[in-house]
């Protein structure tokens, strides 16, 4: 028999006579164990119309994370929203290069750049934060990718690995040392933000069920491997309260 979920584990444990006192069964239904506290912030990455159903770069299942994030946000005193915010004719757009198609790559001064459909252009409805995201207590919106010649998946540092967005300074000056990431996309903006957070000394969690991936040529598995190697912790929203 293949054990596929917690109920089946319990059923087979009960059948095998393994469930003793209340302590054992309670531990199998573990309550949320992580309390973020005043030195932690939830970073809600790029939950914008462009990455949701009907958007210019829609991420499969992206809409499903909106209620997860709304609920998760209740556990946080500090919330940061990020917004991909490109100029028209941006260097990350395939349309900026004759003969190039979306999801191909090109070489830019800072390295290999994946080319995307035109998306999240400043001031457009496509670039707006989803109206279904209910985060009234969020404290700052960090926009990124607004320099025409430079992309910025990370909310901390542009793709040239030199230009800061100022987010690390903002968090550190507010005494925040831990970040939890949710949003889109797991394998691009969430992963790059998480890895930079580690580099900058933050304790870093990615809330897996509060993210969805683009998954281009195995990019999701690669992102988890790289994040894990850098000390990013992979958790689920049910672990946090
Ligand atoms: C993103 C591709 C291009 C993201 C942004 O938010 O993950 N991906 N721009
Ligand atoms: Zn972008």
Q: What percent of the chain has pLDDT over 90?
A: 87
What are the pLDDT digits (tens) for 33-71?
999 999 999 999 999 999 999 999 999 999 999 999 999
Query: Pocket around ligand 1: residues whose beta carbon is below 6 Å from it?
Result: 46, 51, 84, 116, 153, 184-185, 188-189
Atom 6 of ligand 1: nearest residue by CA position: 189
Domain boundaries, the chain: 1-31, 33-239
155 alpha carbon, closest ligand = 1
The CATH number fitting domain 33-239, selected from 3.40.50.300, 3.30.230.10, 1.10.10.10, 3.40.50.850: 3.40.50.850
What is the 3-state secondary structure of 94-155? Answer: HHHCCCCCCCCEEEECCEEEECECCCCECCCHHHCECCCCCCCCCCEEEEECCCCCCCCCCC
Distance CA 31, CA 78 (A): 23
Under the banding of pLDDT at 50, 70 and 90, the label for residue 115 is very high
At residue 51, the pLDDT reads: 98
pLDDT in tens, 65-103: 999 999 999 999 999 999 999 999 999 999 999 999 999
Catalytic residue from among 84, 118, 144, 187 = 144
Place of tokens 């809409």: 63
pLDDT band of 16, cuts 50, 70, 90: very low
Contact 207, 227 (CB under 8 A): no
In this predicted model, what pLDDT tens digit does every residue of 127-170 receive, in sequence order? Answer: 999 999 999 999 999 999 999 999 999 999 999 999 999 999 99
Can 46 be counted among the known catalytic residues?
Answer: yes
Ligand that lies nearest to the alpha carbon of residue 62, given by its number in the listed order: 1
The Cβ-side half-sphere exposure at 56, using a 13 Å CA radius, reads: 19
pLDDT, position 48: 98
pLDDT of residue 27: 55
For residue 21, the model assigns a pLDDT of 43
Position in ligand 1 atom list of the atom nearest CA 188: 7
Tell me what pLDDT residue 29 has.
Answer: 67
What spacing in Å lies between the alpha carbon of 44 and ligand 1's midpoint?
A: 13
What pLDDT does residue 28 have?
A: 64
Query: Which pLDDT value is given to residue 30?
Result: 73
CA pair distance 181, 136, nearest whole angstrom: 18
């Amino acid at each position: 028999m293949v054990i596929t979920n917690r109920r089946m584990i319990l059923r087979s444990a009960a059948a095998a006579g393994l469930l003793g006192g209340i302590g054992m069964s309670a531990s199998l239904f573990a309550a949320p164990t992580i309390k973020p506290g005043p030195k932690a912030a939830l970073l809600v990455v790029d939950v914008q119309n462009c990455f949701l159903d009907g958007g210019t770069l829609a991420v499969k299942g992206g809409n499903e994370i909106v209620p997860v994030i709304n609920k998760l946000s209740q556990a946080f005193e500090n919330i940061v929203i990020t917004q991909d915010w490109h100029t028209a004719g941006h260097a990350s757009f395939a349309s900026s290069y004759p003969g190039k198609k979306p999801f191909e790559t090109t070489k830019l001064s800072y390295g290999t750049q994946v080319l995307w459909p035109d998306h999240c252009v400043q001031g457009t409805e496509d670039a707006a934060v989803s109206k279904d995201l209910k985060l009234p207590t969020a404290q700052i919106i960090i926009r990124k990718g607004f320099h025409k010649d430079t992309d910025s998946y990370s909310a901390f540092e542009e793709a040239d690995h030199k230009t800061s967005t100022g987010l690390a300074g903002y968090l550190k000056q507010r005494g925040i040392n831990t970040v939890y990431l949710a949003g889109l996309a797991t394998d691009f903006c969430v992963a790059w933000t998480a890895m930079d957070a580690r580099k900058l000394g933050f304790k870093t969690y990615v809330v897996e069920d509060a993210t969805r991936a683009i998954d281009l040529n195995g990019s999701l598995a690669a992102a988890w491997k790289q994040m894990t190697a850098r000390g990013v912790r992979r958790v689920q929203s049910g672990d946090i309260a």
